[in-house]
Amino acid sequence: MTTSELVTPQHLARKAIIYIRPSTPPQVLTNHESLYLPCALRQRALQLGWRDDDSDVIDTDLGLTAVEASHRAGFKELVTRVTLGQVGIILSIAVTRLSRNLTDWYPLLDLCGFKSCLIANRDGV
């Protein structure tokens, strides 16, 4: 098991959210790695100590650009769940999958800090 000293029982008591968002419809169709990302990121959550039942995948933003969050229902769901204190960690292939816009990125970082929610990819927490 690959753990992190940043993960605490408080984090593990909440959900691990796996956020998947290839940028464009053609990427959804041609980037076959995106089909395996939920499984790889779920495995990462398991390595960090979450149970399989405690991981949810948000993939409703498939094919949508991250330039702006206002049109991404999945990102809004993610922010809402973090705000409600339901999320212990957000897993994504890269932070650019969450946002490419500082106006959306910084509030998410602030919220995660306030609610003690970690952000991780396959390589680090």
- Between CA 33 and CA 98, with CA 108 as vertex, the angle to 5 degrees is 15
Distance of CA 91 to the CA centre of its chain: 4
Q: Of the listed 23, 34, 55, 92, which one is catalytic?
A: 23
User: Catalytic: 99?
Assistant: no
Full DSSP string of the chain = ----TT--HHHHTSEEEEE---SSHHHHHH-THHHHHHHHHHHHHHHHT--GGGEEEE-TTTT--SS-STT-HHHHHHHHHHHTT-EEEEE-S-GGGT-S-HHHHHHHHHHHHHTT-EEE-SS--
Cite the active site residues.
23
